Amino acid sequence: MKMQSVILAAAMSFAFGNCWASDLAIVHAKIYKEPGAAPVVDGTVLIHDGRIAAVSKDVPLPSGTTVLPCDGCVVFAGFWNAHVHFTEPKWLGASTLPRDKLEQQLRDMLTHAGFTSVVDTGSDPGVTTALRRRIDSGEVAGPHIRTAGLPLYPAHALPFYLAGLPAEVRAMLPQPESADEARRIVLANRAEGADITKLFTGSIVAPDKVVPMREDIAAAAVLQSHQLGLLVFAHATNLAGVRVAMASGVDVLAHAPEDVGGIDSSLIRELARKRLAIIPTLKLFSQDHNIGEIRSVVLQAHRAGVRLVFGTDTGFLTDYDVAEEFRQLTLAGLGTDDILTMLTTAPAALFKIDGHQGRVSPGMDGDLTVLGADPKTDGIRAFSDVRYTIRGGQLLFTGSRDGR
């Protein structure tokens, strides 16, 4: 079949900017509609007005369709990174920084790795909501952003690694001393545009000391958040922090426990019964002496039925390379389909938007991550070979065949 192709030179020089094509197609691709499914080989994905219109081996393309060169590439639903931060100084002034500068920063940090949706688990809400506003308006090309705004910490127990912040900034960080205060902070965060709540149920106040949040304070924050329709993420750190998270009704552990002492099979089964999800962030702990034990907890949780969601702590970790996260997940014993689930269907289900995100299927959002190789047959290095990152039919990133 003769296909009408319009390959814009601007695409290859990252100049799509805020241009939204009405029709965009990827042709001659291997397409995985969802993890575990057999691929459509030599297939076409057509996106029309931001949504997937067709996925098949033989798709007639409307006149004027933008066709991305893609022979041999591999298409997945858009990848999620459910643990990022916009805390680096370069994000200050997000409401006024030039569009091109913001788009380059977003490519460097996120979209070069295929991320079409991200969850900011704690940043200045004025920064993140301004950035999101400019993206959602179409002015800036970037991923979907959900944010926690400012996390809630135990009273008088900020993490020691925040000691370098100016005193006036530290004073602004919420440290509720009562249930009522916790509820007010959640309401204030929501008014600032927060989509989730982040609690430090276990705050590392010194390298060898963790202070848990009071359970009644955590429970009040969780209840208020759930009444507002917000998920609650917890930085738990150790057994005490995990127990506070479980008792208070938290939805997601934002990291695997770093101190695994007492994290046994019975507790993991309890996590599964309570339907807590875990974002492992294994790269963050990859230099720890007990990384093998942390990986073991993640694998046990997976086998017990705990939902795992992909996240890296990018932004706190400023090298932006996610290859180590994939490597650590593989070392933990997770398979490619497990990792693809963490990147696609699991976060969509967690946020209850799996009716329109997480799969490559007609009617779903036109969010795609396109790789130059298949991680299921070519190994985990293929995850770093991102050819295109597409959100709602808009090209956010284009890379070379070998991922450079």
Number of domains making up the chain: 2
| pLDDT at res. 8 | 34
Check whether residue 46 and residue 109 sit in a common domain: no
Buried/exposed code over 26-47 (b: 16+ C-beta within 10 A; e: otherwise): bbbbbbbbbbeeebbeebbbbb
Strands 23-31 and 66-68: parallel
Non-local CB neighbours of 373 within 8 Å, separated by 6+ positions: 74, 381, 382, 385
Whether residue 3 is contained in a domain is answered as no
Predicted pLDDT of residue 198: 98
Same-domain status, 18 and 149: no
Ordered strands of the 144-147 beta sheet: 79-84, 115-120, 144-147
**Residue 73: which CATH number?**
2.30.40.10
Positions in the chain short of pLDDT 50: 1-20, 402-404
pLDDT at 232: 98
CB burial of 82-121 (b: ≥16 within 10 Å; e: otherwise) equals bbbbbbeeebeebeebeeeebbebbbebbbbbbbbbbbbb
* Max intra-chain CA distance, the chain: 68
Whether 169 and 111 map to the same domain: the answer is yes
Residue 355 counted as domain residue: no
Clarify whether residues 322 and 238 are in a common domain. yes
- Specify whether the CB–CB gap between 362 and 53 falls below 8 A: yes
Examine the domain organization and report whether 227 and 374 are in the same domain: no
| Helices then strands, each counted (H, E), the chain | 13, 17
Asked whether the beta carbons of 303 and 334 are under 8 A apart, the reply is no
Can you say how many angstroms the Cα of residue 71 is from the centroid of all Cα atoms in its chain? Answer: 28
C-alpha torsion sign, points 133, 116, 105, 198 = positive
- Domain match, 218 and 340 both: yes
Distance CA 142, CA 124 (A): 18
For residues 312 and 325, is the Cβ–Cβ distance under 8 A?
yes
Are 91 and 228 members of one domain?
yes
Asked if 177 and 216 sit in the same domain, the reply is: yes
How high is the pLDDT of residue 11?
41
Provide the pLDDT for residue 315. Answer: 96
Measure the CA–CA gap between 198 and 174, rounded to whole angstroms. 11
pTM of structure: 0.93
Cα–Cα dist 328/122, whole Å = 24
User: What's the pLDDT at 71?
Assistant: 80
Domain extent, residue 382, equals 9-77+360-398
**CATH number of the domain to which 163 belongs:** 3.20.20.140
Same domain, 370 and 290: no
User: Is residue 381 included in any domain, yes or no?
Assistant: yes
Residues 343, 194 share a domain: yes
Q: In whole angstroms, give the CA distance from residue 121 to residue 148.
A: 5
Whether residues 229 and 364 share a domain: the answer is no
Contact present, 202 and 235 (Cβ < 8 Å): yes
Kindly state whether residue 391 falls inside one of the protein's structural domains: yes
Contact between 372 and 72 (Cβ < 8 Å): yes
Distance CA 24, CA 393 (A): 6
Does residue 226 fall inside a structural domain? yes
pLDDT of residue 316: 96
Residue 326 lies in a domain: yes
What contacts 57, CB < 8 A, 6 or more positions away?
40, 41, 42, 43, 44
Indicate whether 159 and 294 sit together in one domain.
yes
Helix (H) or strand (E) holding 146: strand 144-147
Q: For position 18, what pLDDT does the model report?
A: 42
**pLDDT of amino acid 21:** 52
Question: Is the residue at 388 inside a domain?
Answer: yes
pLDDT tens digits along 120-159:
999 999 999 999 999 999 999 999 999 999 999 999 999 9
Residue at 199 is within a domain: yes
> In terms of DSSP bridges, do strands 202-206 and 23-31 run parallel, antiparallel, or are they unpaired?
unpaired
Query: In angstroms, rounded to a whole number, what is the distance separating the alpha carbons of residues 324 and 383?
Result: 11
Determine contact, residues 102/134, Cβ cutoff 8 Å.
yes
Q: Residue 205: phi, psi to the nearest 5?
A: -85, -15
